[in-house]
Amino acid sequence: MIIIMAEPTLASYEKVMIADDDEPTRILLRTAISKWGYQVVEANDGEEAWRILQQPDSPKLLIVDWLMPELDGLALCERIRQKLIFQPYIIFLTRLSGTPNILKGLEAGADEFLIKPINYSELHIRLLAGEKIIKYRDIIINQNKDIQTCLSYIKGLEFLLFDFLKGKKD
């Protein structure tokens, strides 16, 4: 089956969570991301972000700073990958650069690693890519559910047929 998906448009209304303890940075990100058509949810530290992620209809796209009080970005990322069933798309956005840090971030479970100061064009492209991945993932999850339902119907029919044939034989 070929699945044709529409390109994400400007008005996608997908939720994006910004987890960053620096309020000026959150204001800049919020302003830019809202203009791109996303709904913005903000968290001041990792623990707050974690609480938001456990609520129903939580954001599927995350922008996470590394150095934050309470729970830092790296620990948040690891917790998400270990404990959440529905996995958000995680973009690390940090001043910590260099290959060892990038590897650490990706190993903790980040999907993307961007270095501050923020390059808004790049961030926008990465969000669009994340949105596409999440949409494809949701399609796969839904199709998988449909397949499971079909399989249980087939099994039911199999039992009925078996009983029917057994009755005829007897």
Partner 1 sequence: MIDLNHLKYIFGDNKNQIHEFLVFFVTSAQENIQQIDQDIQMKNIKSLMFHIHKLKGSAGNSGLIKLANLCQQLEESVGHQDWITLEKYNLEIKNCILNLQNEISKIFKS
CB of 74 to partner 1, least distance (A): 14
Query: Any idea how long the chain is?
Result: 170
Shortest separation between residue 40's beta carbon and partner 1, angstroms: 13
Binding site for partner 1 (CB under 8 A): 21-25, 27-28, 31-32, 65, 67, 94-95, 116-118, 120
Q: How far is the CB of 83 from partner 1 (least distance, A)?
A: 26
Q: How far is CA 78 from CA 17, 103, 138, in A?
A: 17, 13, 22
Identify which of residues 15 and 116 has a Cβ nearer to partner 1 in the complex. Answer: 116
- Looking at the Cβ atoms of 49 and 53, the one nearer to partner 1 is 49
Closer Cβ to partner 1, 24 or 98, answer by number: 24
We find the least distance from the C-beta atom of residue 94 to partner 1, in angstroms, to be 8
End-to-end CA distance of the chain: 43
Name residues whose C-beta falls within 8 Å of residue 74's C-beta, 6 or more positions apart in sequence: 66, 104, 105, 108
Give yes or no for a cis peptide into 56 (omega within 30° of 0).
Answer: no
